[in-house]
Chain A
Amino acid sequence: MSDQDDDHIIEPHTSTLHTRREFLRTSMLGAAVSFTLPVFLQKTFFTLDAMAADSAIQTATGKNDTILIVLQLAGGNDGMNTVIPYADDAYFRARPVIGIPKDQVIKLNDYAGLNPKLSGLKGLFDEGHLSVLQGVGYPNPNRSHFRSTEIWQTASDSDKYDSYGWLGRYFDSCCQGADPTVGVAIGNQVPQSFAASSPTGVAFSRPEQYRWFNGDKSGASDLVYKEMNQPEMDPAMLDENDGGSVDSLAGSSAPSRHKESTLAFLERTALDAQMSSDKILDIARKFPASVSYPHSALGDSMSLVGRMIAGGLATRVYYVSQGGYDTHTNQVATHARLMGELNDALVAFAQDMKAQGNFGRVMLMTFSEFGRRVTQNASNGTDHGAAAPMFVMGGGIKPGLFGQYPSLSALNAGDLAYNVDFRSVYATILDRWLRAPSKEVLGRQFPLLGIV
C-alpha cells in the first residue's frame, strides 16, 4: 500500500464488539431476556451454554488448531494433463496434439507423472508433504459445470439436491457460536460449500478496504452505524422477524434458512462484517507477507491466506479459487499457464507456512468440478469429462499416490471412471483433520483414506 492510501485510513475506532460471542454476552446475556429472538441468535444463544459441556464443539483459536484450505480449480481441470498416464500409449493416441510428451512428464511412478509445470509440487511430494489422489469422482457424473460444482460443494448424491454445503454443515455441527471468521473465502463471494442453516463465514479480497469509511471525524457517525447494523432488539420488530421464544430453545431443531427474513439476513451479515473487519485490518497491517509470492490472482490469494494465518485469525477453513480451467479450445498454452500459476503459488505458500512454523497445522486440498474427456476435441481442447486427480498438501499429511489411475480403455461414456468417491476425501479430512464427525456432516459414513 502506498502512503497515499494510508492517508485515507482512519484509525480503527474503539470497538465494543470483537466477537459474536462478546456481542451475545453484552447484548443478550446481560439483559433479562424474556422476549423473542431473531432466528440466527436462537441457536447461537443456545449453543453458547452448551459449548462448555459439549467437547464436540470446536471454536477456532487461530493459534494451535488445524486449518483446512480448499482450493477450487474452477471450470473443470484437465486431470489427464495434470497427472499424466505417460506410460499408456492410449493417452498419446487420444491426444495426438495436446498430449504432454513423455520426456517432459515429471515421473511419479512407472505409469503416471506430473505436468512439467508442477516441478515444485514434485519437490513437496518427494519431501513427503504432498499426496496425489487418482481417479476421484462420484457415481453417475454430471457434465454441467453448475450441477457438478453443486454436487462437489454440497457433497450430495448426483440425483439429490442439498441446499447446504459440506463445510456449512461442518460449521453448523461443530462451530456454533464461533466468530464469523471461522470460514474465510478470499474474494467477494462466499462459496456454496459454506451455505448452512446458521450461515457462517466472511469474504474479502483486499483487507485494507474491508472496513467502513465515513465522513465524520467525531465518532458520532460510528455509533449510528453500529446501532443500525446489528439485529434489531425491539420486541415488536422481532415478531415480524420470525423470532422464536427463548423458552422453545432447548432441543429445538435448526431453523431453516428460508425462515430468516431478508432483512434479518442482512442484519446478521452486517454484524459479521462489523466484527470481522477490525480484526482483519489489524492483522493485515501487522503481518506483511513473509515470503515472496508469485504475481498472479492465485498468488495474491494465497499470500493473503498466509498473512491471516500468521496473524492468528480464528479460522478453521479458508476457501480460495483459481479460474480459467474450461479449456475447450487450443488448451495447451492456457493449461500450462494455469499449472505454472498453481505450482508457484502453492510452493510459495508451503515456504511461507514453514517459515511461520505453521506447516504442520495446515492442509490444502484442491478440487475441480470434473476432469475432461479422454480424447481431445476438434479445436485442440477438451470437453467436460468426469473423474480426475486431487492434490492434498501439508506438513501433517501422509504423502504418496492414492487410488488407482483410471483405465484408459474401460471408459464410462468416453470418460474416466472414478474409483475414489470425493466424499471419502471429505470424510477423511473431517474425521482426521478437523476432528469433526464426518458421518453427521456428510449424512453417512464414507470409507476413510490414508492421507492423514
Chain B
Amino acid sequence: MLTPLHARQWDLQKAAHLLNRAGFGGTPDEIKAFCELGFDKAVQTVLDGPDDATQFPKPAWAQPTNLLALHQQMMTLTADEKKQMQQMVQKQYRQDDIDLINWWLNRMRFTSNPFREKLTLFWHGHFATSVEKVHDSYMMWQQNELLRQHAFGNFGLMVKSISRDPAMLVWLDTRESKKDHPNENFAREVMELFTLGIGNYTENDVQEGAKAFTGYRIAPTDETFRYAPFQHDEGVKTFLGQTGPFTGDDIIDIILQQPSCAKFIAKKLWTFYAYEDPDPSLVDALASNFRSSSYEIRPLMSDIFRSAEFYSPDSVRQQIKSPVQWVVQTSKVLETPLARPQITINALRQLGQVPFAPPNVKGWDGGRSWITTSTLLYRYNMANFAVGNGPLRIERLRKIANPNAPAAPNSFDVQNYQGPDLAKVIPAQVRADPKRTIAYLCFRLYQDPLTPRDTETFVKYLSDHGPTPTDDTYRELLHLMMSTPQYQLT
C-alpha cells in the first residue's frame, strides 16, 4: 500500500513539508520558490541536488596522521616530553573535533544541497560512530565523506565500505579481531543495528560472522584500511544457513539476501522522514521495490517522497524536530548564521544530539525521546538566545569531549551574535496589522497556522505593545512563538 501523490495535490503546505523533512526547511520565499517548481521537479531536486564539494572544501586539518612515525618519535622522548607531546596531540584532536562538528553543521546550514546532508545525518545515526572512542577527527571526517558519497547510492556497497572504514574499525573493535580471538562486536552490530534487526539471526551467526571479519586492520602510516591475510580466518563458516569459507563481503552478501534487511532499512528511513509505526503493508511495498532494485537508495527515497502517505495528516507536523534539525532550521528561518561553535555544540549536547558523538552504537532514539522537561526548557532558552535576547549560560567545551570530566560552570556573553535582522524576518508590509504579523510569523516559524485561540493570544500580546512595537517586543514575540510545543514540531 503505497499511493503516489497526484501532482495536482501539490501545494505550499506540501512543499514546506518536503523541504522540512527532506532538508532543514527554509524561509517563506524559499518555500514559495520550491513550490513553484511543481511536484515532479521539486522531488527531482531533492533526489539529484547539486554537488556542493567546492562550496565546502576539505578542512585543512583533515589529513592522515602517520601514526607509526608519531609512535617512533615518541619512543625517543623522555617521559616528561612524552607526556607533553601526548597532551599536545590530545588538545589538537579536541580542537579538530570542534572544527569538525562546526564544519558539518555549517554545511547543513548553508549547502546548496541540504537533502544530501540530511540523508548523511540519517546514515550517521544509522552507522552511529562516536569520536568519544575513535579519538581521531580525520577518521571521523573520512567516515562522514563516505556516508555522503553513498547517501543516495547503493546500500550493499555502503555496508561493505563501512565494514572497512577506519573509524568503524576502531569503534567496533574489528581492528583488534584476530583469527584466534575473533571479536564479536562488529559481527553483532552489523546484523542487529545496520541490516537485519534483532531476532533475525542467532548467537551462532554472530560467532560465525565474527570469524569472517578477522584480519581487517588500519595502516599505521596513512590511516587507511589494510587487509592482513595472516590474521584472517579462512576456515569454513556456517552463517544464516549457508556454509563456506566466507569473507566479510560474502557475509554482507548473505545478509542482503535476507528479506528482513530491505524491510529493516525501509522502515527506518520511513520513520526518520515520515512517521513512526508505519503500516506493515507500506513497509512491504517500499522494501519490495528496494530489494528488486538491488538496494539502490535513490529510488527508495523517490518512493517515499512521491507517496501520498508522506504528505498525510499522520505525517505533516507530527514529528518532533531533532536537536540538529532545531538548530539548523532555526538558523534558516531566522536568517542568522549559526552561533559560534561553543554555544551551538554545547546546546546540542544539552538537547541530546552532538554530531559525531551519538550516545552509543544504536544512535539516537529520536521521536519523543528528544523531549523531557529539561530539554524542552533548554529549547525555549536556546530560542531566547537565538532571537538575540541575551546570553545563554553554557558549560566549558571540554565537557563535550569528555562528558564525564567535571567542569566548572561558565557563562559566555553574546559576542559576534546579534540575532536576526528584524526588518528581514518581519518585513514592513506585515507590520501594520498585528493579525497579519502573526499569520506571517506562523508561516515563517511553523509553516502552519495556529488555532484561533493561540493566534489570539499572540495578537493580543502584540497589540498590547502599541501601534509601533519596538525591536525588543518583536524579539520577545519571536521568542514566545518559539517557546511553544508547536515550534518543536515539523
Contact = CB atoms under 8 A, between A and B. Distances in A.
A188 B457 contact: no
B406 A146 contact: no
Interface residues of A, number: 68
Given A221-B480, A266-B489, A329-B176, A5 B372 contact: no
Contacts of A205: 374
A352 B113 CA distance: 55
A125 interface: no
Contacts of A438: none
B475 to A, nearest CB: 6
A270 B377 CA distance: 8
B373 interface: yes
Contacts of A214: 384, 389, 476, 479-480, 483
B202 interface: no
A13 interface: no
Given A145-B360, A228-B480, A210 B411 contact: no
Contact of A273 (B185, B377, B384, B457): B377
Interface string B402-413: 011110010100
Interface stretch (A48-56, A294-302, A398-406): A294-302
Contacts of B409: 1-2, 5, 206, 208
B485 A234 contact: no
Contacts of A413: 203
Contact of A144 (B176, B188, B320, B368): B188
Nearest to B399: A297
Given A5-B393, A216-B476, A266 B485 contact: yes
Contacts of B292: none
A362 interface: no
B453 interface: yes
Contact of B457 (A190, A206, A227, A263): A227
A324 B404 contact: yes
Contact of A262 (B176, B319, B453, B464): B319
A276 B373 CA distance: 9
A180 interface: yes
Given A229-B483, A263-B489, A8 B362 contact: no
Nearest to B384: A213
Contacts of A2: 409, 411
Interface in B329-367: 350-352, 360, 362
Nearest to A5: B411
Contacts of B384: 213-215
B376 A215 contact: no
Contacts of B406: 295-297, 299-300
A146 B319 CA distance: 24
A224 B181 contact: no
Interface string A17-44: 0000000000000000000000000000
B277 interface: yes
A210 B374 contact: yes
A377 interface: yes
B475 A188 contact: no
A369 to B, nearest CB: 11
Nearest to B375: A188
Interface string A253-286: 0000010011101110110110011000000000
Contacts of A323: 403-404
Contacts of A269: 371-373, 376
A388 to B, nearest CB: 19
B322 interface: no
A266 B411 contact: no
Contacts of A328: 173, 183, 185
B373 A203 contact: yes
A1 B395 CA distance: 12
A237 interface: yes
A202 interface: yes
B29 interface: no
A188 B192 CA distance: 26
A273 B173 contact: no
A8 B391 contact: yes
B45 interface: no
A413 B381 CA distance: 51
Interface string A196-222: 000000111110111111111000110
B260 interface: no
A435 interface: no
A232 B489 contact: no
Contacts of A221: 461, 476, 479-480
- With most chain A CB atoms within 10 A of its CB, the pick from B360, B373, B389, B484 is B373
A8 B476 contact: no
B104 interface: no
Nearest to B484: A228
Contact of A224 (B185, B480, B485): B480
B453 A232 contact: yes
B373 A215 contact: no
A202 B375 CA distance: 10
B129 to A, nearest CB: 15
B65 interface: no
B254 interface: no
Contacts of A276: 373
A409 interface: no
A4 B485 CA distance: 31
Given A214-B479, A224-B457, A190 B372 contact: yes
Interface in B105-137: none
Contact of A189 (B185, B372, B377): B372
B374 A202 contact: yes
B389 A296 contact: no
Interface string A299-331: 110000000000000000000000110001100
Interface string A55-82: 0000000000000000000000000000
Nearest to B413: A4
Given A144-B198, A213-B381, A378-B178, A265 B368 contact: yes
A377 B373 contact: no
Interface in B187-225: 188, 192, 198, 203
Given A1-B409, A379-B176, A262 B461 contact: no
Contacts of A190: 372
Interface string B58-73: 0000000000000000
Nearest to A227: B457
A4 B389 contact: no
Contact of B489 (A146, A147, A185, A262): A262
B454 interface: yes
A394 B475 CA distance: 51
A442 B454 CA distance: 42
B184 interface: yes
Interface in B272-302: 277
Contacts of B404: 296-297, 323-324
A383 interface: yes
Interface string A172-199: 0000000010000101111000000000
A377 B16 CA distance: 53
A266 B373 CA distance: 9
Contacts of B453: 232, 234, 237
Nearest to A268: B485
B462 to A, nearest CB: 10
A225 interface: yes
B221 to A, nearest CB: 23
Interface in B23-45: none
Contacts of B480: 214, 221, 224-225, 228
Nearest to B483: A225
Interface in A353-389: 377-379, 383
8 contacts: A188-B372, A188-B374, A216-B472, A232-B451, A262-B318, A265-B371, A299-B406, A378-B180
Given A188-B374, A225-B480, A295-B406, 9 more contacts: A189-B372, A209-B378, A221-B476, A262-B318, A262-B319, A265-B368, A270-B485, A297-B403, A329-B173
For the complex of A and B, list the 7 residue pairs with the smallest distance between their C-beta atoms, beginning with the closest: A215-B389, A266-B485, A378-B181, A273-B373, A203-B372, A202-B373, A203-B374
